[in-house]
Amino acid sequence: MALEKLRKEDTLEMRKRLIGQSCRLFYSDDPVKIVRARGQYLFDENGTRYLDCISNVHHVGHCHPSITAAAAAQMELLNTNTRFLHDNMVVYADRLRATLPEKLCVFYFVNSGSEANDLALRMAQQYTRHDDVIVLDHAYHGHLMSLIDISPYKFRKLAGQKEWVHVAPLPDTYRGLYREDHPDPCQAYADTVQHLIEEVHRKGRKIAAFFAESLPSVGGQIVLPEGTRLKSQSEYVRAAGGVFVADEVQTGFGRVGSHFWAFQLHGEGFCPDIVTMGKPMGNGHPLACVATTVEVAEAFTANGVEYFNTFGGNPVSCAIGLALLDVIEKEDLRGNATRVGAHLKDLLKNLQLRHQIIGDVRGVGLFVGLELVTDRQQKTPATETAARVVKRLKEEDNICVSTDGPWENVVKFKPPMCFSMEDAELVVRCIDRILTGQLHKDAAVYSSYQKMVHRYTDHLQIH
């Protein structure tokens, strides 16, 4: 509570003085100071409420009472070193196992998506005894040095591409190499991976892994083309002796609605060799995981070196993870993601009919992107307008969204999974108003929405 008593200006001054400036703030010109949150709503130090359209970490809603209760109860009882035997870790692993294909049945708990991907890379290299990695263009897989190396989104701004890293084109049918008008974009994109593998072999190198997000996020909320999707790519990689790593750090735990894991969108029977998970897993608590096959796990164990992670899979983290799985089921949040996500996409598609600047609307479940372009033919990124939409939504409507994609022109929606139909309607109306060039918000629309929010917050006893 003491921290809340700092004046906003003092917090900002201390942050500038004490915290590394490469750690950026949202809305750096006029940052928001959030002091509490519930569901999909954030509250600043004056009690002003913001609608959160982007906190994909706070998956089942901010400060969900079931998660808080599970964490507090376990914290009071025991939180100890992961080398002691404890029920929570094994019960949680068993619950996760039930969500995955049978082959993915060995688990390693860690504390962040970066740790999970770093471990996956180690495992892949140890299992295959190969070194090289294929990644999709514009990908981001984490902040460790090993992951900066396999993240084109980062290494292009830093030391550049290492010789063991190979970049395949992003299968983006809106503005990528092969587009909607291509007769078979799935096969064309799969072929790019096969050609890359042949090139790697010609250099006398061998593929350890292909890392791919099941739905590329930083790349611009990309939904891969219908059809075989990543299945063929994974087959080519396996034929070359490598493994397929599905990075589900952003997309797992039902965000896509129809499936628990986004890789399950890639076709019946498609099974990665390694799945990494993080962000939504602990609803804000640092909890992440690597799931893999017995074969990969045995190869990882074979050198006799212990894998020890002080905090990964501790009793409190696992209690939180278990509670999160229960909430997803009890509150039918996958159903909600399907329904509200479809509604949001429909509303945005309607908006596209009236606003030339909307080049593309895409998404699955509550993973939705709105791509803005100044020219539909040339697909010139409307980066400035996207930034203006983000700023005005925050300043005029108290709505938090942000942008993604190589040109930061894709307005992204990855809200907590309790996001409602009314939330979707409000944000689309506000975007409509901003794109139409209206200066002020529509009072009638806003007051009916406010009434709905009050009903909701009263129900949750948020005061």
Is 40 a binding residue for ligand PLP by CB under 6 A? The answer is no
Q: Is 412 helix (H, G, I), strand (E, B) or coil?
A: strand
**Length of the chain measured in residues:** 463
Closest approach, Cβ 376 to ligand PLP, in A, equals 29
10 Å Cβ neighbour count for 121?
Answer: 24
Residue 1: HSE in the Cβ half-sphere, 13 Å Cα cutoff: 0
278 binds ligand PLP (CB under 6 A): yes
Considering only CA atoms, which of 278, 156, 138 is closest in space to residue 222?
A: 138
247 or 423: CB nearest ligand PLP: 247
Minimum CB distance to ligand PLP smaller for 132 or for 213: 213
- Please choose, out of 98-106, 204-212, 245-253, 299-307, the segment that lies near ligand PLP by the rule CB under 6 A: 245-253
Q: Are 88 and 318 spatial neighbours (Cβ–Cβ below 8 Å)?
A: yes
Q: Which is nearer to ligand PLP, 143 or 343 (CB)?
A: 143
Q: From the list 141, 166, 175, 334, which residue makes contact with ligand PLP (rule: CB under 6 A)?
A: 141
Residue type, 270: F
- Please tell me whether residue 366 binds ligand PLP under the rule CB under 6 A: no
Site string for ligand PLP, 160-199 (x = CB under 6 A): ----------------------------------------
Q: Which two tokens stand for residue 287?
A: 């909890």
The C-alpha atoms of residue 245 and residue 291 are separated, in whole angstroms, by 10
Q: How far is the CB of 139 from ligand PLP (least distance, A)?
A: 7
The values of phi and psi at residue 358, to 5°, are: -85, 105
Handedness of CA 292, 114, 338, 325 (dihedral sign): positive
- Rule CB under 6 A: say whether 140 interacts with ligand PLP: yes
Q: Does 82 bind ligand PLP (CB under 6 A)?
A: no
> What's at 122, amino acid-wise?
R
- 142 binds ligand PLP per the rule CB under 6 A: yes
Tokens 């980062």 found at? 154
Q: Which of 330, 331, 358, 363 is nearest to 344 (CA)?
A: 363
Residue nearest to ligand PLP according to CB distances in the complex: 113
Name every residue whose Cβ is closer than 8 Å to that of residue 387 and which is 6 or more positions away in sequence: 403, 408
Mask for 96-125, x = binds ligand PLP (CB under 6 A): ----------------xxx--x--------
Smallest gap from Cβ 74 to ligand PLP, in A, equals 22
- For ligand PLP, the closer of residues 136 and 370 by Cβ is 136
> How many angstroms separate the CA atoms of 266 and 339, rounded?
21
Residue linked to tokens 């040109």 = 407
Kindly state the number of chain residues that form the binding site for ligand PLP, as judged by CB under 6 A: 15
Place of tokens 């068993």: 94
Least spacing, CB of residue 122 vs ligand PLP, in Å: 15
Quote the CA–CA distance of 88 and 71 in Å, as a whole number: 12
Whichever of 139 and 351 has its CB closer to ligand PLP, that residue is 139
- Contact between 249 and ligand PLP by CB under 6 A: the answer reads yes
d(CA 171, CA 305): 38
Question: Binding of ligand PLP at residue 153 (CB under 6 A)?
Answer: no
Beta pairing partners, 37: 42
Give CA–CA dist 178/187, Å, rounded: 10
217 belongs to the binding site for ligand PLP (CB under 6 A): yes
Q: Which is nearer to ligand PLP, 103 or 285 (CB)?
A: 285
Contact status: 250 vs ligand PLP (CB under 6 A): yes
The string over 144-176, giving b where at least 16 C-beta atoms fall within 10 Å of a residue's C-beta and e elsewhere, is eebbbbbbbbbbeeeeeeeebbbbbbbbbbbbb
Rounded CA-CA distance 173/366 in Å is: 20
Of 320-349, binders to ligand PLP (CB under 6 A) are none
β strands within 204-255, DSSP E? 207-213, 243-247
Closest CA to 425 of 367, 345, 364: 345
Give the residue with the Cβ less far from ligand PLP, 141 or 433: 141
CB closer to ligand PLP, 221 vs 250: 250
Give the nearer residue to ligand PLP in terms of CB position, either 54 or 104.
54
CA distance 268 to 23: 41
- Min separation Cβ 213 and ligand PLP, Å: 5
Tokens representing residue 298 in the block: 């045995």
Among 247, 371, 397, 423, binds ligand PLP (CB under 6 A): 247
Q: Contact between 137 and ligand PLP (CB under 6 A)?
A: no
Least distance to ligand PLP, CB of residue 144, Å: 8
Q: Which is nearer to ligand PLP, 288 or 382 (CB)?
A: 288
Least Å distance, CB 91 to ligand PLP, is: 24
Nearer to ligand PLP, 278 or 365 (CB): 278
* 56 part of the interface to ligand PLP, by CB under 6 A: no
> What residues make contact with ligand PLP under the rule CB under 6 A?
112-114, 117, 140-143, 213, 217, 247, 249-250, 278-279
